[in-house]
A and B are shown apart, each in its own frame.
Chain A
Amino acid sequence: MDLILFLIFGLIALVCAINVVLQTHPISSAVSLIGVMGSLAILYLLLGAEFIAAAQVIVYAGAVMVLFVFVIMLLNAGKEVHKGRSFMVQLLGVPLLIALLGLLAFLARHMYQPETMVHFGGFQGGSAQAVGHALFTTYLLPFEVTSILILIAIIGAVVLARKELD
């Protein structure tokens, strides 16, 4: 069961990811990205990360992507036009990508022996209580710092995007 779930949603994630890259209109890309995030949330559940799965759906898919969609609509961004080329990208882009993927896959397969098997329920420590406990004890400082980070991001976004006062 877990295997089938993994295969289905893994496939959905991959297809949506490729769609993000291949679509010409940004809106289509945004929607595909939401699909990726959703599938990833399911995969997180498989790995026992309940809290993170929920956060993924609420924050990432629900807030960040909505922000993206708003901005796309605000800018009235249309289909992409083909203008401008880069020599370097054309020359090296594809080979490097293949190299990257190959390397990472190779490393993933051969670095951890014997192989851990994942099944639903294999890891119980991903509950909200466990995450919260770690967040407010071991990771207290990063927690407080990120709160300030968000504050700065808010102020920055407001300042950057406001209308000029004439």
Chain B
Amino acid sequence: MQLWLIPILPLAGFAINGLFGRRFSKSLVNVFAIGSVLLSFAWVVKTLAGLGDISGTHLEHYFTWIQSGALNIGCDFAIDRLTAVMLLVVTGVGSLIHIYAIGYMAHEGGYYRFFAYLNLFMFFMLVLVLGASYLVLFVGWEGVGLCSYLLIGFYFDKQFATNAGNKAFIVNRIGDFGFSLAMFLIFVNFKSLDFATVFQAAPGMSEATLTTIGLLLLVGACGKSAQLPLYVWLPDAMAGPTPVSALIHAATMVTAGVYMTARSWVIYTHAPVAMNVIAIMGVVTAFFAATIGLAQNDIKKVFAYSTVSQLGYMFIGVGSGAFGAGIFHVVTHAFFKALLFLGAGSVIHALAGEQDMRNMGGLRSKIPITFWTMMCAAVAISGVPPFSGFFSKDAILAAAYEKTPWIYWLGVFTAGLTAFYIFRAMFLTFFGNYRGKAHPHESPPVMWIPLAILALLSLGGGFIPVPEFLREVFHAPPEGPANYTLMGISVAAGLIGIFLAWLMYCFKPSMAESFAERVGIFYKLVYNKYFVDEIYGVAIVRPIVEGSRVLLWKVVDVSGIDGLANGIATWCRGVGGVLRRIQSGNIRSYATWVLFGSVMLIVAMGLAEGLAR
């Protein structure tokens, strides 16, 4: 089956572009970068077609990576239905974004470096998805974190970009710490890290153990998928180029947490406490991020908070036991969120770098293709039937209603908020009069063709039967009768949100400002993202940095270790300085010392002789 070809092709692209890309022309870089990803996608399709109706797991073992006592980790790739879905999303959407990036990055420096990093990211993401043990998954996990850092800080000469890269990596690390602890626990209890072994033995373990493992895995997922309280890196990650935001921070990397949680469904179904925690965390994050998204002015930041919010929805699905629905939302979200980001990139490209929505407006007639494709995404994400977002969101909310009704109600309210802020963004950008100073022009075909494809997928993606397809993986019961009342309520919430947005931003634009003034404090709170970054800074970052600087650096390093090293040197110098007085150049004093030594020697020998007698 040669599963290894799927990740190796982008790795080859990375190697060639990374090592030699500097000397290549742009078209040659494109050939290797896009070609490797497209070939990978083609191979995925061929493999899946070859497998036909995939049932169970197909495992490929390549080599034994670690062999140490009881720890035996092999480099294994496995493919089952869940992997198949993820593979198609990663390679498919990834290819489209690669093609888009040709146009977007055409005028940027470091062209080959960008595509090299992007290919490296694809490699790690595919390793993550194909891995058949927690450790191989973790390798991919860390790798995508690394590529995220590299790509966020792509404009390395800008301070805020490198800071954002650092923030992403460090916050991710906190999550990875939880993940590592979970892996340790898994190994201690199950004596193995392979999925097959662990999931077979899981039902027999104590609930406390499984709950602890589940919660620790959740910490990791929080970090990677930007949930409360580790979401702070995602809005700052918008400092990277827009294709990066689309690929990594919308479609693929951030869904790694959801994928990992869904993969560990066996552990979670036997640890109901952990699942409740997931669901609660998901809905709180969704609501929280949606409120922040209401007041942002940077178009990419709106979509970033929207991503956090939608990821919360996916976790609601997973936490309510509807793993298939959660993954379904991953797929549809990949379509419409990538489209939203790429469209935003198209807008930014048209306006020569402008990102503030207050300087946009009336672009509907100037960049029509971008407008229509983004509109498709907007209606999809707002849950308007019969588009893709409606199906996936509804599946999640229905499952939530079964488990915990209050989550359902909060989720519906958040759906309304979602529709509101998305359409607020749309109205501010495309309707009204143009408030800026640039000369907007439509994007080249290499950019709008992927937009068009993604638009079609956003519209029609709801009809792909992902939850039924995955029912076999998750051993889920067949769906009950559709509850039309619930569906109606959530659709109504979405439509109300759209209407309110139209009212406040299109019909009577001044309504927005007066409302903001009346709400006063809440507006300020939400606009400043609840001051979370500032709180973290004061409570956590500053003490650690200051503590390090004062205690560890000044005391331990400078005084202690340097003091010891320098002190030894100074002491040697001092002793040497004293001892060198003997070398006076005066022969008679040398002779005196010789005499002294010989007298001592005679005394010693005499004593030895005397003692021997």
Chain A interface (Cβ < 8 Å from any Cβ of B): 84, 86-89, 92-93, 96-97, 99-100, 103-104, 107
Nearest opposing residue in chain A for B605, CB measure: A107
A104 to chain B, nearest CB (A): 7
Could you say which of B67-75, B170-178, B324-332, B584-592 contacts chain A?
B584-592
A100→B588 contact, CB < 8 A: no
Q: Is B593 an interface residue (CB 8 A)?
A: yes
A92→B606 contact, CB < 8 A: no
Could you say which of B239-247, B449-457, B561-569, B595-603 contacts chain A?
B595-603
- Of B584, B586, B591, B595, the contact of A100 (CB 8 Å cutoff): B595
4 nearest interchain CB pairs?
Answer: A88-B589, A89-B588, A86-B586, A86-B589
B599→A96 contact, CB < 8 A: yes
Contacting residues, chain A, for B591 (C-beta < 8 A): 89
A95 to chain B, nearest CB (A): 9
A96–B595 Cα distance when bound, in Å, is 7
B592→A99 contact, CB < 8 A: no
A64 to chain B, nearest CB (A): 22
A89–B588 Cα distance when bound, in Å, is 7
A88→B592 contact, CB < 8 A: yes
Contacting residues, chain B, for A107 (C-beta < 8 A): 602, 606
B602→A92 contact, CB < 8 A: no
Q: Mark B572-593, 1 if CB is under 8 A from A, else 0.
A: 0000000000001010110111
Contacting residues, chain B, for A99 (C-beta < 8 A): 599
Chain B interface (Cβ < 8 Å from any Cβ of A): 584, 586, 588-589, 591-593, 595-596, 598-599, 602-603, 606
- Of B584, B588, B596, B606, the contact of A96 (CB 8 Å cutoff): B596
- Of B592, B599, B603, B606, the contact of A89 (CB 8 Å cutoff): B592
Q: A103-B606, A107-B606 are in contact. Are A88 and B599 (CB under 8 A)?
A: no
A77–B331 Cα distance when bound, in Å, is 110
A97–B592 Cα distance when bound, in Å, is 10
Tell me what chain A mostly uses at the interface: helix, strand, loop, or mixed: helix
B589→A89 contact, CB < 8 A: yes
A99–B598 Cα distance when bound, in Å, is 11
B603→A103 contact, CB < 8 A: yes
Contacting residues, chain B, for A97 (C-beta < 8 A): 595
A100–B591 Cα distance when bound, in Å, is 14
B592→A103 contact, CB < 8 A: no
Interface centre among A84, A86, A88 (most CB of B within 10 A): A88
A84–B586 Cα distance when bound, in Å, is 10
Contacting residues, chain A, for B596 (C-beta < 8 A): 92, 96
Contacting residues, chain A, for B606 (C-beta < 8 A): 103, 107
A159–B591 Cα distance when bound, in Å, is 28
Contacting residues, chain B, for A87 (C-beta < 8 A): 589
Nearest opposing residue in chain B for A100, CB measure: B599
A102–B593 Cα distance when bound, in Å, is 18
Contacting residues, chain B, for A103 (C-beta < 8 A): 599, 602-603, 606
A86→B599 contact, CB < 8 A: no
B588 to chain A, nearest CB (A): 5
Contacting residues, chain A, for B584 (C-beta < 8 A): 86, 88
Q: List 17 A-B contacts (CB under 8 A).
A: A86-B584, A86-B588, A86-B592, A88-B586, A88-B589, A88-B593, A89-B588, A89-B592, A92-B595, A96-B595, A96-B599, A99-B599, A100-B595, A100-B602, A103-B599, A103-B606, A104-B602
Nearest opposing residue in chain A for B602, CB measure: A103
B128 to chain A, nearest CB (A): 78
Contacting residues, chain A, for B593 (C-beta < 8 A): 88
Nearest opposing residue in chain B for A96, CB measure: B595
B580 to chain A, nearest CB (A): 14
Contacting residues, chain B, for A100 (C-beta < 8 A): 595, 598-599, 602
Nearest opposing residue in chain A for B591, CB measure: A89
A99–B592 Cα distance when bound, in Å, is 13
A133–B589 Cα distance when bound, in Å, is 44
Contacting residues, chain B, for A86 (C-beta < 8 A): 584, 586, 588-589, 592
Nearest opposing residue in chain A for B582, CB measure: A88
Interface centre among B588, B592, B606 (most CB of A within 10 A): B592
B602→A96 contact, CB < 8 A: no
Q: Other than the known A86-B588, A89-B586, A103-B599, what 14 A-B pairs have Cβ atoms closer than 8 Å?
A: A86-B592, A88-B586, A88-B589, A88-B593, A89-B591, A89-B592, A92-B592, A92-B595, A92-B596, A96-B599, A103-B603, A103-B606, A104-B602, A107-B606
A86–B590 Cα distance when bound, in Å, is 10
A31–B586 Cα distance when bound, in Å, is 28
Contacting residues, chain B, for A93 (C-beta < 8 A): 592
Nearest opposing residue in chain B for A88, CB measure: B589
A86–B589 Cα distance when bound, in Å, is 7
A104–B589 Cα distance when bound, in Å, is 22
B127 to chain A, nearest CB (A): 77
B558 to chain A, nearest CB (A): 42
A96→B603 contact, CB < 8 A: no
A151–B599 Cα distance when bound, in Å, is 35
A165–B387 Cα distance when bound, in Å, is 112
Interface centre among B589, B591, B593 (most CB of A within 10 A): B589
A87–B586 Cα distance when bound, in Å, is 10
A104–B605 Cα distance when bound, in Å, is 12
A96 to chain B, nearest CB (A): 5
Contacting residues, chain B, for A84 (C-beta < 8 A): 586
A97–B593 Cα distance when bound, in Å, is 12
A104–B603 Cα distance when bound, in Å, is 10
A107–B609 Cα distance when bound, in Å, is 11
A96–B584 Cα distance when bound, in Å, is 20
B451 to chain A, nearest CB (A): 95
A93–B589 Cα distance when bound, in Å, is 9
A93–B586 Cα distance when bound, in Å, is 14
Contacting residues, chain B, for A89 (C-beta < 8 A): 586, 588-589, 591-592
B550 to chain A, nearest CB (A): 51
Nearest opposing residue in chain B for A107, CB measure: B606
